[in-house]
Amino acid sequence: MKLIKAVINPYKLDSVRESLSELGDFGLTVSEVKGYGRQKGQHEIYRGAEYEISFVPKVSLEIAIADEMVDRVVALIVEQAKTGKIGDGKIFILPLEEVIRIRTSETGDDAL
């Protein structure tokens, strides 16, 4: 299993989420975050205005998935979130040791 953490532009959330739901029945955690990449937040446009402060609002998605789904989920996020401009975001893929569904005590792939 892997934990995919994707930091994307907030206005891309809906299209990413819709495409993900077509791919499968997995859960998703969304957080409003702020951050910066290698431009340190300079020269990024958000809602028509250039942000003068260092941190730019982003949305962070966390998706726990089976290994065989990783490539498809990553390709989908890239396809939906990409504009080709700076600040499009970044995807982090982390090994995921265990998942437990609290209601049933199922573990591993069965708990996803």
Q: Which residue has 């290994």 as its token pair?
A: 67
Of 20-28, 71-79, 80-88, 98-106, the segment contacting ligand ATP by CB under 6 A is 80-88
35 binds, among Mg ion, ligand ATP, none (CB under 5 to 8 A by kind): ligand ATP
Applying the rule CB under 6 A, the residues between 5 and 34 that interact with ligand ATP are 7, 33
Q: Does 28 bind Mg ion (CB under 5 A)?
A: no
CB 57 within 8 A of CB 32: yes
Q: Does 75 bind ligand ATP (CB under 6 A)?
A: no
Dist CA 64 CA 9 (whole Å): 20
Applying CB under 5 A, among 28, 33, 45, 86 the residue interacting with Mg ion is 86
Applying CB under 6 A, among 23, 45, 75, 86 the residue interacting with ligand ATP is 86
Applying CB under 5 A, among 21, 39, 54, 107 the residue interacting with Mg ion is 39
CA 106, 4, 69, 80: dihedral to nearest 10 degrees?
130
When the beta carbons of 39 and 54 are compared against Mg ion, the nearer one is: 39
DSSP H stretches of helix in the chain? 13-23, 70-81
Question: Residue 102 phi/psi, 5° resolution?
Answer: -65, -40
